[in-house]
């Protein structure tokens, strides 16, 4: 009983790391734009896809592939800013139309990926090689700690570390650096930011680039961890990611990470308690309760406005 508890805890933490990494990029764009970028999950998928092509078709070393996946995600994300968001902002369109344009972009990206999969693999799924090691010297053997009854795959630990490091770096950047301050100013109001001499357009591009990097990286790591990649893997995490950032508090970096871990923990707990059919329902019920008590999410800030 003790060992199963320990194993489930580890399961939850490792799953949470992936959710968290994905949610980070989501949260970043939302906090700066105030817009949900529903195409973020497509970026995630493209990160996994590019990484796959890199190791599988171009035979590049996996670390380089990770870099390419992240970079590809970043560039695609910037592209999204140019084609799906900027034109609408320029015309002062309602935020909700930006949401819809991101859906359009997402459909486009997923379908392009599907065509490419078909071209390259003759079907719409493909796998990362079985014995892929992320960096030289890394083991693919499951780590077995028999005396406490624990088994962990090394790759998941790597993902956990990457997620945590990324979170700390991002948090530092946003709260401690000038760029971060400028991002928050733009997030609050482009108009005010521009009156403070902040190059608004450049900040947007940067934000999208960073978010894309996180999305792409998360996708690539997800691919490495679970190996199967298809044009639709983004849909698996889209709702989870959304739940995570809302639960944690929109616009809060730690919130996104915390949310990711909580969602994973809840899913795991409900499965461990014998409720695998209800695990997602339980997640949403908790979300519901949290929002009723703290409408701004766990780490979110209350609205700073007055009558």
Which 154-183 residues touch another protein, going by CB under 8 A? 178, 181-182
Q: How far is the CB of 285 from another protein (least distance, A)?
A: 7
Among residues 238, 212, 218, the alpha carbon closest in space to that of 103 is found at 238
The tokens of 188 are what?
A: 């609050």
133: contact with another protein by CB under 8 A: no
254: contact with another protein by CB under 8 A: no
Contact 216, 47 (CB under 8 A): yes
Helix (H) or strand (E) holding 229: strand 228-229
297 sits near another protein (criterion: CB under 8 A): yes
Q: Which residues pair with 151 in a beta bridge?
A: 144
Closer residue to another protein in complex, CB, 71/280: 280
Distances (CA, A) of 263 to 38, 155, 219: 19, 21, 18
| Contact letters for another protein, residues 8-37 (x by CB under 8 A) | x--xx-xx--------------x-----x-
Q: Considering beta carbons, is residue 67 or 208 the nearer one to another protein?
A: 208
Token pair belonging to 294: 């703290």
Helical H segments across 82-177, by residue range: 86-90, 95-121, 154-176
Q: How far is the CB of 54 from another protein (least distance, A)?
A: 19
| Complex with another protein: residue 59 or 92, whichever CB lies closer | 92
- Residues 6 or more apart whose Cβ sits within 8 Å of residue 141: 154
Min dist. Cβ of residue 15 to another protein (A): 5
Does 139 participate in binding another protein (rule CB under 8 A)? no
Please identify which residue in 167, 183, 242, 262 interacts with another protein, judged by CB under 8 A: 242
Supply angle C-alpha 277, 280, 281, rounded to 5: 85
Between 137 and 302, CB nearer to another protein? 302
Q: Taking CB under 8 A as the rule, does residue 153 contact another protein? A: yes
From 55-63, 64-72, 161-169, 184-192, span contacting another protein (CB under 8 A): 184-192
Q: What is the DSSP-derived secondary structure letter of residue 147?
A: G
- Number of residues forming the site for another protein (CB under 8 A): 107
């Amino acid at each position: 009983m003790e060992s199963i508890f320990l194993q489930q805890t580890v399961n939850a933490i490792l799953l949470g790391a992936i959710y968290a990494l994905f949610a980070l990029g989501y949260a970043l764009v939302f906090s700066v734009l105030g817009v949900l970028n529903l195409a973020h999950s497509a970026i995630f998928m493209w990160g996994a896809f590019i990484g796959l092509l890199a190791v599988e078709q171009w035979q590049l070393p996996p670390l380089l592939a990770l870099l390419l996946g992240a970079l590809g995600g970043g560039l695609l994300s910037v592209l999204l800013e140019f084609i799906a968001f900027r034109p609408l902002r320029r015309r002062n369109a309602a935020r909700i139309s930006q949401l819809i344009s991101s859906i359009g972009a997402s459909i486009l990206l997923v379908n392009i990926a599907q065509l490419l999969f078909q071209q390259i693999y003759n079907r719409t799924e493909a796998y990362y090689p079985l014995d892929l090691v992320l960096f030289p010297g890394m083991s693919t053997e499951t780590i077995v700690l028999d005396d406490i009854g624990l088994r962990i795959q090394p790759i998941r630990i790597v993902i956990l570390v990457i997620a945590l490091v990324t979170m700390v770096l991002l948090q530092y950047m946003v709260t401690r650096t000038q760029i971060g301050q400028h991002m928050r100013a733009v997030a609050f109001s482009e108009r005010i930011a521009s009156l403070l001499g902040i190059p608004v357009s450049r900040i947007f591009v940067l934000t999208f680039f960073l978010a894309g990097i996180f999305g792409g990286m998360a996708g690539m790591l997800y691919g490495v961890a679970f190996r199967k990649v298809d044009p639709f893997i983004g849909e698996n995490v889209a709702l989870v990611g959304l739940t995570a950032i809302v639960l944690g508090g929109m616009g809060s970096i730690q919130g996104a990470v915390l949310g990711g871990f909580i969602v994973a923990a809840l899913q795991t707990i409900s499965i461990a308690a014998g409720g695998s059919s209800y695990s997602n329902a339980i997640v949403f019920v908790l979300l519901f309760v949290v929002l009723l008590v703290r409408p701004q999410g766990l780490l979110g800030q209350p609205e700073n406005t007055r009558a």
